[in-house]
Amino acid sequence: MNLRMAFQLQGDVVTNEVSTAKYTVLTFVPVNLFEQFLRVANLYFLLMAILQLIPGLSPTSWFTTVAPLVFVLAVNAIKEGYDDVHRHRNDNQVNNRKVILLSQQGDVDQQQEVTWKDVVAGDLLKVRADEEVPADLLLLSSPDPDNLCYVETANLDGETNLKIKLYVFDGYAESAKVGKQPLDINNLLLRGSVLRKTEWVIGVALNVGKDSKIVRNMTKAPRKVTQLERNMNVLVFVQFTALVVFCAVLAGLDQWWAARHSAPSWWYLQSQNVYPELPPGVAAFFISFLRFLILLSNMIPISLYVSLEVVKVFQCTLLLNSDRQMYHRDTDTPFVCRTTTLNEELGQVQYVLSDKTGTLTQNVMGFVWASVGGVLYGQHASEDKRLAGMPANTPHSIALDDGVQKALCFRQDKSDKNRQPQPALLDFLTNLAVCNTVVPSVNPDGSLLYQASSPDEEALVQGAAYLGHRLVSRTTEQVKVDIRGALHTYDILATLEFNSDRKRMSIIVRTPQDRLMLFCKGADSIILSRLAAGEPGVETVKQHLDEMAHAGYRTLLVAQRELSREEYEQWEADYSAAQVSMVDREGRMAAEQERIERGLHLAGATAVEDKLQDGVPECLQALAAAGIKVWVLTGDKVETAISIAYSCRLFTEDMGLVEFREAELAGAVGEDDQHPNVGVIQQVLAKKLAEVRQQNKLMQVVEGHTNCGIVIEGGALHYALHKACQDALMDLCKECRAVVCCRVTPKQKAEVTGMVKQKAQAITLGIGDGANDVGMIRSAHIGVGISGREGRAAVLASDFSFAQFRYLSRLLLLHGRWSFLRNREVVLYSFYKNWAYVMVYVYLQFVAGFSAVPIFTTLMISSFNMIFTACPIVAYAVLEQDMHVKTVLANPASYAVTRTATRGGFFWLFFLWIVAGTWHSLPVYFLPWYTLTTPDRNGLAQDLSGVGTAVFIALTFAVAFKLCLRTHSWNWITHLVYWLSLALLFPFVYVVSILWPSTSISGVADMAGTGAWLFTNPVFWLTTLVGAPAIALLPDIAVMLFRRYLRPDLVTLLQEAEVLEAVADLATHRRQTHGAGGFLNANNLEAMHQQRRGSDSANDDSPAAQLARSSRGVGRGAAAPAAAGVGSAGGAVPSLEMGALAMTADAQLHISKG
């Protein structure tokens, strides 16, 4: 019986076909519609459409609701369908890849190519070099003498280094000859990994298709909902409540009016006493209520959700992804939006939680110092000491140290030519060359390239190679090291790998001298606790570790011990039993590892330097000036983290510093980790809080502010994160300007992030570059991945990704701020214009007997939200800039406008917009109504459709001019969209008014001749296009001028400074041209700005370059009318020449005008 048959007998056949698509041809329409109608707004308008289809009930045509609803649903369906087509194409490409299937027919071995989707469990497969593994395979054979193969797991964990090992896998193989053999991480090839440096492998398919590890781990990322969306949902409920109240009141008035006009003298108003005209009563009230519900249904804007989605997509593709200032040329890494739902959340970040290594630092490690035999090497490195074979400017400066070269006898004077290398240093370097997981590969030029999952390991191995201990090859059985020209082979007996819980790695080898040695390296706290009693030199090494940490270096301790054969054989038997155990395998293996890693002898300590990325200090200063608190979560020891914090200016010399160490919680240890002494923890936290406040008091810090930082050790954090202590911990951290957590695990990073979200009730951003940062990135409101040297795991888990930490300030302070302001305006404006629209209907009812008669015709109702008012707000949301790019970046305090925006403040703004909508609706209704319904000298007056058309035009102009007043950035695209939307009104009205009787579209007959009559009537032009919008917007202009000149805020003053600088540029230009140049145009002024300060365009020659440049082009809109006459107001305003303003979010700006 072959393997395929054996596997199939165990249960149902699972194919290897994988589908990531969401829909099929048959399910697309029903599933997509079902998901869309899960949105309350869509369900609401579906209900309105159904009500409109009831004969005799609706006062308006079903088209007025169905057409906009179909448009909204179609836009979303097209977007979903487009995405799913790409998923289907990718699935088909993967499922139809080829792989070789090995089989046997009789005594004949056969090889045939089959598609991936035809593979089932039990198939014997042959995978060739550079091919992806099609299923989870149990490795059986390879051309390597040791049956070894190399794989790249970038598709799984984002890491590009080659690995001999893979993922945790529990199992064993049993045969009559050798009994049970453990199947572990070295035996499994996971689907998606790529075979490298190996001609072929043969394996049996264990898990296929949806059972494979990569597919089972394809969990859908949680949907993150922004604060603006939550507020928007509340507004929908508020508006619906208002709608119900309006409908109930109007229905009641309808009953009152009908009862009052029921006398026989009003015979022409009498009801027919049949549906839908019923006499006053409960049934008539209910019908009237439904009619008003349909009539006023646009109180909730149907286009809001789709408009916001379109806006966010445009912002991501045209602005964020195309911003060349966030493109890293050296690595060819652009900025990438991995989601389009969180744009405005970037403008409200209050806490940034950051990894250190590879995020703040370059993750380019250099082996710089070493402590061996009581001597600290590396402090006297010099480039003129470079040895043969070493590249210039190597980061591994330990090899350039004169002391280490003399200790290894690379440089000898005549007097000491017989001196031998220091044995302790030789053992130390041998340990570094052997105890690692680095895989050497040979370059085409014959040189060695080290592939390492950890940059620290790569640095230590490379540094040891420069010092004469060169790792040559590694298999699962052997390590070969070239030591000063002689090849030494070490047989690997066991490898105890590093993980975040162990914080150490050990390897047991048989040396060329037939000794059994355990080599170990790890965190200082871990290794020190496992040294033999009375180990000499420990205090000296501790002093050296402190020096390394204060210099900002990453440290490790290196240890070893010789094993007796009896001890090893007994341990090996117990460890092998633990490896094949199917019950608590991990626990049993950990216990055996702990047993053998005891009684170690200290070999030395290493110091690895990781330099800061460019621009990190400036970025952190900008974030602090914007009022954003930065927490750094790192696995480094306390002293190293403090040194880096000072280097990147997270901590400054004038700050107070409080340390929270694990030793201070010695009394908190309970029966187990789950039940610590909470009272002791809270007392220590209260003591630390008092210490922070005392330091602020001694520094005379203003109450409500702080100038203190805190460093929390991982052990202390472990206890402080207890649920009962999190409030006290958060209170302590809130009192500090910056927080650094050291020796933290990936789990603790996620826990800290979750605590800040829950306890501070603030928007958090997590940023990191490695797989150990994924939990933190996913836990934060916004996750940012750095494309670094630790693979793409963080990027794959993130919402936004880029290459350098310094881009974060631009992302938040510029794009985040703008996105919040723009998108908030989209929401408020949408509710405002629909409120004004609905109020016009309400006013009409008071002169129409509360009969639910519409004032607009069918085509007008359908086009108001979908055509005439939709495009301008989208253009605003993409192009609006309240200040120039350089002004925003030079004044981080302006970020406080969005960072401190609260839900209460949002609802207050909504109330003001509703008040404005109510006022605007009054003149746009009453002025056309009472001027156009007044009979002319011929005794003729306009009918309802004609007056309704005039009101519609006046309303559209009023809400459009309102948006114009809110616009600061004017460019040709803005002008085109705004004015074209208004200009289309006139041909639209004229064409509709001449369609009858050639078409029977609802409402066309009512408008017959309306266009010609209105457009030839001077009263229409005076009242509708001039009088109504002017009266409507007069209070807006008054309030705007009052706030600009009498109650200016920071943004207003910065805008004014831009205008003043533009005037100064104009004067300079006129002096240079001796007054002959005329007025300065926008292009010349922009060129002057760039010549004087250097170009800093948001999107220099990107697809959105014209948008960014044009939005600086012709002034600052109605909000800064002076700018329109002088060209661009967009030069940089470097903190308005006031350093304090740019450095603190709490600063106030005072300008004396005179």
The catalytic residues are 355
CA angle 357, 359, 361 (to 5 degrees): 60
Task: DSSP for 137-151, please give it.
Answer: EEEEE-SSTT---EE
Give, as one character, the DSSP assignment of residue 54.
S
Contact partners, residue 238, CB within 8 Å, separation at least 6 = none
Contact partners, residue 540, CB within 8 Å, separation at least 6 = 371, 374
How many CA atoms, within 13 angstroms, populate the side-chain half-sphere of residue 380? 8
CB 280 within 8 A of CB 258: yes
Three-state secondary structure along 666-683? HHHCCCCCCCCCHHHHHH
Gap between the Cα atoms of 1086 and 1062, Å rounded: 10
Assign residue 472 a region (left: φ > 0; alpha: ψ between -120 and 50; beta: otherwise). alpha
Radius of gyration of the chain (CA): 37
Contact partners, residue 489, CB within 8 Å, separation at least 6 = 478, 479, 480, 512
Gap between the Cα atoms of 873 and 3, Å rounded: 64
Gap between the Cα atoms of 850 and 279, Å rounded: 14
Gap between the Cα atoms of 15 and 525, Å rounded: 49
CB 362 within 8 A of CB 415: no
Gap between the Cα atoms of 551 and 555, Å rounded: 11
Amino acid at 114: V
Distances (CA, A) of 208 to 3, 152, 157, 190, 368: 14, 19, 19, 10, 47
**Spatial CA neighbour of 530 closest among 540, 521, 517, 541:** 521
CB 841 within 8 A of CB 653: no
CB 504 within 8 A of CB 495: no
Backbone torsions φ then ψ of 739, nearest 5 degrees = -130, 135
The structure tokens listed for 59 are: 């006062």
**Spatial CA neighbour of 57 closest among 297, 296, 287:** 287
CB atoms within 10 A of CB 1105: 16
The structure tokens listed for 587 are: 């626990």
CB 803 within 8 A of CB 367: no
What is the H or E stretch that residue 376 is in?
A: strand 375-377
Gap between the Cα atoms of 776 and 754, Å rounded: 8
**Spatial CA neighbour of 417 closest among 406, 427, 425:** 406
The structure tokens listed for 581 are: 């155990």
